[in-house]
Amino acid sequence: MQQYDRNNIFARIIRGEIPSHKVYEDTQTLAFMDVMPQARGHVLVIPKCEALELTDMPQDYLVAVFSAAKKIIGAQRKVLHRDGIVQLQLSGEQAGQSVFHYHIHLIPGHIHELGKHESVAADQAELAQLAAQLRAELD
């Protein structure tokens, strides 16, 4: 079994060592724009606990992450003017997981139209603007 790496990218984002375009935060969760989005408005929701994937998730953090996801999906629907949001979570490298800190993808797109995530970062100004719009909708 793979060990949780405290220096994975998302752990560093939680600690503020790496910048992110924050959308939502509470004591147990953090949500931010995916820097290599599969669709415009792609958000990641993560727990502030050391969990590699679903089987490591404590019950209370699961509830917290899904509660945050519910709020964010509502904001995405308003800001992006679309109903369809793909909620995706990959558990394990064989499933395609590339960052080993549990995360839910909230992707405004159609499942059959989603390719691999981009290999280059999206425009930072656009990500910042989308994050600001989503935060405003969540306030």
Give contact residues for ligand DGP (rule: CB under 6 A): 9, 18, 20, 32-36, 90, 96-99, 117
CA-based angle 116:122:126, to the nearest 5?
Answer: 135
Closest CB to ligand DGP among residues 37, 79? 37
103 is known as an active-site residue:
yes
Which of 90/138 has CB closer to ligand DGP? 90
Question: Of the residues 42, 103, 105, 117, which is catalytic?
Answer: 103
Structure tokens belonging to residue 36: 């290599």
Token pair for 110: 């159609």
Q: Give the Cα separation of 99 and 77 in Å (integer).
A: 26
Nearest CB to ligand DGP, comparing residues 13 and 80: 13
CB of 28 to ligand DGP, least distance (A): 19
The helix (run of H) or strand (run of E) holding residue 10 is: helix 9-14
Residues labelled as active-site residues? 103
